[in-house]
Structure 1
């Protein structure tokens, strides 16, 4: 890029130089280069660099750091690993610190003697300070030039630590703790995603293949199409997967494909062509992945995108890379590609599966329903796109039992928010049953449940917070009273006050600009419409 930008456009300058193209060395050649440089780095950092460290440096940088080239990135990795080890093991001897403290004491005594005009004593202290400073310098030179002690060793684990720090994920050895975590990945995902056994099993299998290093190295870590009705956990599974793999939900790159329905909007994914507005900004998809190569890419409602978008997806799914408008190759090999679609949602809404092998009320099992939806999917997507997907996953409708479990998840979030005000929230089983009754809609998933919690619990609590009725240490007890919630507030001394589930009336007094309570305006002329007649 730099040659093309600065030299190639100046033909007079270019013809005065001979162009020599240097190809990137292979991993084996990089290891040989590192062996030639090893003595210099060992002497500079005073460490021992093993052959395993050199091989791991070439292998891991070639696998995980795609925006740079060998041997540059491997040399930087060796340099940083050695410098970190040197800093970690470098410590001054105790006598050095004692000498520094003595010099500081003598310096203070000298300044005190000067202030009291004891110049002879100050001169003696000055000479003593010089002798101690020279002794400190000699000790420091002896300490730095000491070659007799054992040198720390740089191995493959130290190299892996640096790569993990650069990329944000463990990349070399699967530790025992991480292995156990991957083996029980289904249980971890089920903590936030209720039901959807088939989806979670399929995703977990793909992730284990990727982390075990037996997947196709040229393709993304996993590619899925999530099908199913709204509100059943498709996006939530993507968020949970991002947090599980990369430790943070911000590792989720979400792209709303309904914004790319027109052909001219497709270029925004990879960046505007030269001469158009936004050329220097990069693509909305490529730029995010380039800055965060270890992420979950969620393409929401992919069926709404223009057919030209599918040509871009073909390259990502097959080669694991994409070239943006500025000619930079963006690596997708370390991403998880998830596409969501509402194709077949109508078919699912007409069938309420009781299980994956049990037929539903219309006689359709889960596998039969999936085959029907696959038929609809093939009419919308081209075969070459479907063939590049690791697995097409159908999300079934949520049952009433699953909605009950989701209630507990949503209430945990609400309890944490209330606890920030120093208030405890308690719900009875009858209150949870009312939330399930009010929020269960097989066709809408879990979203009506969230609205029911807002209407029945959050709104009355919010009114009490604004009215000052939620003091620190109080306990909010929520129970059922017919088709309504019975909410009461208990103070630490045992006094209980009932809270109305209807919106709170306007207060009789309101604070003025100085904070003093004044009667609320009754409206009309007194409220400030027209001035009162004298």
Structure 2
């Protein structure tokens, strides 16, 4: 008799330990009436089987370790031969090698050979769906990108991040170079501790004011979408019992089964996890965060692990590092880093400070901000065109936006300012819109602020 997921027998059909399915099985096993093989996971074994000593004694635990790459390759070739003949799809050996490497590199929260088989099955299924009989590496890469949920070209993402961070002045030059160097190693799985996050970045003092913009840039350039950000504010967690807000409530307590913000990391492992105000939370919260960064995972109240190995973690703290700079002109870069780390250790504890790969306490002002302004103009163009309004943004408006942006350290304040001074001016033109040709307007800036000039469609086309 083979029983898969044997832990489900505990409590099934009656009271646990007396009339459930596991209790009915014990006498037959004790008499030796049948041979039985059962399967479960390590976590479920410790949680359900070990507490029932009578059931545990009737089994001999055999722990099956993850297969090696070479062993998984043999399994993968066997599955390829069976599925390929059934579905009429040819998968060459070089594609199998790429799928195996991709599963190890991009699905680090899962195990071989299961994750490699899953990629192979998805590749063959997609080929069958579109009527393709032969697949190559590019085809498999396309399927893997859809399954992983992010582009698999790490080099392009890191280079794009380097250019964007430098162009927007979001970090100091040294810190930006350290972040890029770190990601070039970790995104390829070449780091010494691959279970840890791809990078742990602490933004302190002035640099923390640019955190909102920075995390979106990292998510967009590395993971393909600015929305791949999970934000958790640790500031309100000032008591030790507030750990339930981070990891969930214990069994039988209110909120035990509620979803947590951390669960989004399990659903979207390739993301930026932003933990704000780590300096304001209770020391127990900081210790929990430090332990999770060291181990590479949080453990919630239900015993489930939330892995961080595919994420970039950004911490923010109101810690002034300006007083931590060594005096004199001869201080080396290594000495500056050590002084900054010592200041963070005094404020947040050595455990958390030691887990930070990069500590950034200074955010230079944007050097021009051309990309930011261009992105804003493109976004506004798209929004108003959808409402039948063609907008020409005068050079005076572009200069006005570029000059005003550095005055706002908080992203939300900047958005509210634009809504008040730009959207409010254009709203009446959107509301007065009638059927027919799109209305054409020009947005200009002068001493009185933002103003709107309506133009004819033909003149507008000529100006564009």
* Alignment length (residue pairs): 410
- Structure 1: how far apart are the matches of 2:420 and 2:200? 38
- Structure 2 unaligned runs (5+)? 17-21, 30-35, 37-57
Following the alignment from structure 1 to structure 2, what is the Cα–Cα distance between the partners of residues 80 and 69? 17
C-alpha separation in 2, matches of 1:34 and 1:460: 62
Question: Is contact 1:238–1:338 with CA below 8 Å preserved after alignment?
Answer: yes
Distance of aligned partners of 1:203 and 1:469 in 2 relative to their CA distance in 1, 3 Å threshold: farther
1:166 to 137, 147, 151: 147
Mark the runs of 5 or more structure 1 residues left unpaired by the alignment: 91-151, 352-358, 496-534
Q: Decide whether the 8 Å contact of 2:265 with 2:271 is kept in 1.
A: yes
Aligned-partner Cα distance in 1 for 2:313–2:74: 37
Aligned to 2:51: none
Q: CA deviation at 1:434?
A: 5.3
Superposed CA RMSD in Å reads 4.1
- 2:427 maps to 462
Match of 1:21 in 2: 62
> Residues 407 and 295 (structure 1 numbering): CA distance in 2 closer, same or farther, change over 3 Å?
closer
- Please give the alpha-carbon distance, in whole angstroms, between the structure 2 residues aligned to 1:328 and 1:87: 35
Question: Which SS does the other structure have where 2:236 is aligned?
Answer: helix
Q: Is the 8 A contact 1:439 1:451 kept in 2?
A: no
Alignment of 1:333-482 (within 5 A): 333-344=309-320, 376-396=343-363, 398=365, 402=368, 410-431=376-397, 441=407, 444=409, 450=415, 452-466=417-431, 472-480=438-446, 482=447
Match of residue 236, structure 1, among 213, 216, 223: 213
The 8 Å contact of residues 227 and 393 in structure 1, kept in 2 or not, is answered as yes
Which is greater in Rg? 1
CA distance in 2, matches of 1:70, 1:23: 12
Give the Cα–Cα distance (whole angstroms) in 2 for the partners of residues 365 and 472 of structure 1: 61
Q: Report the secondary structure of 1:474's partner residue.
A: strand
Aligned 8 A contact 1:219 1:333 in 2? yes
> Relative contact order: is structure 1 or structure 2 higher (C-alpha 8 Å, sep ≥ 6)?
2
Q: In the alignment, what sits opposite 1:307? A: 283
Alpha-carbon spacing, 1:365–1:298, altered in 2? closer, same or farther (3 Å): same
Task: Within 5 Å, give how 1:127-146 maps onto structure 2.
Answer: none
Q: Following TM superposition, by how much is the alpha carbon of 1:185 offset from its aligned partner in structure 2, in angstroms?
A: 3.4
The answer for the alignment partner of 2:50 in structure 1 is none
| More displaced stretch, 39-48 vs 468-477 | 468-477
Q: Are the aligned partners of 1:53 and 1:156 in contact in 2 as well (CA < 8 Å)?
A: yes
Do residues 77 (structure 1) and 119 (structure 2) align?
Answer: yes
1:336 positional shift:
0.6
Relative to 1, partners in 2 of residues 1:338 and 1:5: Cα closer, same or farther, differing over 3 Å? same
Cα deviation, 1:157-202, whole Å, max 9, x if unaligned, reads: 555444333211344xx5xxx64554353224456x3453535434
Q: CA deviation at 1:266?
A: 1.2
